[in-house]
Amino acid sequence: MNRVLIPVALSAPPPPPIAHGQVRQWAGETMGTTWSARAVLAPGQAANQAANQAEGIESGIRAVLDAVIAQMSNWSDTSDLSRFNRAAAGSWVTLPDDCFTVLQAALQTAHDSGGAYDPTAGPLVDLWGFGPAGRRIAAPSVDDVLRVRERCGWQRLDVDAGQRCVRQPGGVSLDFCAIAKGFAVDAVSRYLDAQGMAHHLVEIGGELRGQGLRPDGMPWWVELESPTADGTAPARTMIALLGLSVATSGDYRRYFEHGGQRFAHTIDPRTGYPAAHALASVTVIHRDCMLADALSTALTVLGPQAGMAFAQRHALAARFLVRTPDGFDELATPAFAAMLS
């Protein structure tokens, strides 16, 4: 049985659909994953004009994505983030506007979640084989976890918002992998808006944002990502992305097994170990994809009970899928349930 989710309220009514408009699609690779974008082009253009515009849009999207990587990738030695990570202890590092915006959002999420999400957990992600240092096939020792965890801690960062700079306390390594994709989705959406394409759908690695309407007047419908178990999955859930974003975090995409245990890529910065509970995935629906991305990670680390309490306290539209011997139990916040039609 399929279900649909529709926004309870819109921040602004969508612009009228472009009757007889043409939906164009672009796609490629970025940030170790894939991206795609769809936008409605107005009719009445000559074929060569439409082709030239489409080519220019693709180049523009790639430039937006390349700029995010240049600022925020800890996989690139030349990025602004890596420049901060290499900075001498006690030095202040000025960050570009977008990078600083993401840092502020990351630190706010870290504060609100009690450190369940922590942008300084990069060394732990590396230690467990999910970062630039490369994969591993065995769990690290307790001593290694304790040693590396001492280098982490979002509270160690001093920020000067007026100058857009952050102090390197020594040995801190920022990692925006759980928030930069969402920011990039938002950035591409803003770019398309600036090109006069108010009707569009953007996706990067499963994180999505939709705005406006299709030429037929229908919203951009997307299916929420769900894990499978023994060939079964929860009921298909479709959402109308009318000025909304959606991000899903789960333990079923990146993991390794050792000694009969499964170690997933979502690290709990508070313990230094991968999150270990029955939670299979968390989906967050939010106006901003950047925040949906970070919050889905925080809720995954918090787990079903604490995560649900946090989501309710912050009025988040969130869905938790919890593993059971018979498949999955779904837990939905009131804000999520209110969208079900």
pLDDT digits (tens, 9 = 90+) for 44-80: 654 555 666 667 899 999 999 999 999 999 989 999 9
Which H or E element spans position 138?
A: none
Q: In this predicted structure, which of 9-13, 243-247, 266-270, 282-286 has the lowest mean pLDDT?
A: 9-13
State the pLDDT confidence band at 256, using cuts at 50, 70 and 90. very low
Q: 94: domain CATH number?
A: 3.10.520.10
Give me 81's structure tokens.
């983030």
Residue 20 CA: distances (Å) to CA of 17, 23, 193? 9, 10, 19
Give the integer Cα–Cα distance in Å for 187 and 130: 25
Q: How many domains, in total, are found in the chain?
A: 1
- Measure Cα distances from 107 to 40, 137, 297, 339 in Å: 36, 31, 14, 29
- Strand, coil or helix: 28: strand
Average pLDDT, the chain: 89
| Structural tokens at position 308 | 């649900």
Q: Which of the 8 DSSP states describes residue 86?
A: H
CA-to-CA distance for 55 and 63, rounded, in angstroms?
A: 13
Question: CB–CB of 185/65 below 8 Å?
Answer: no
CA torsion 225-113-266-248 (nearest 10°) is 10
| Residue 297 belongs to domain spanning | 1-341
Tens of pLDDT, residue by residue over 190-228, are 999 999 999 999 999 999 999 999 999 999 999 987 766
The yes-or-no verdict on residue 1 having pLDDT over 60 is no
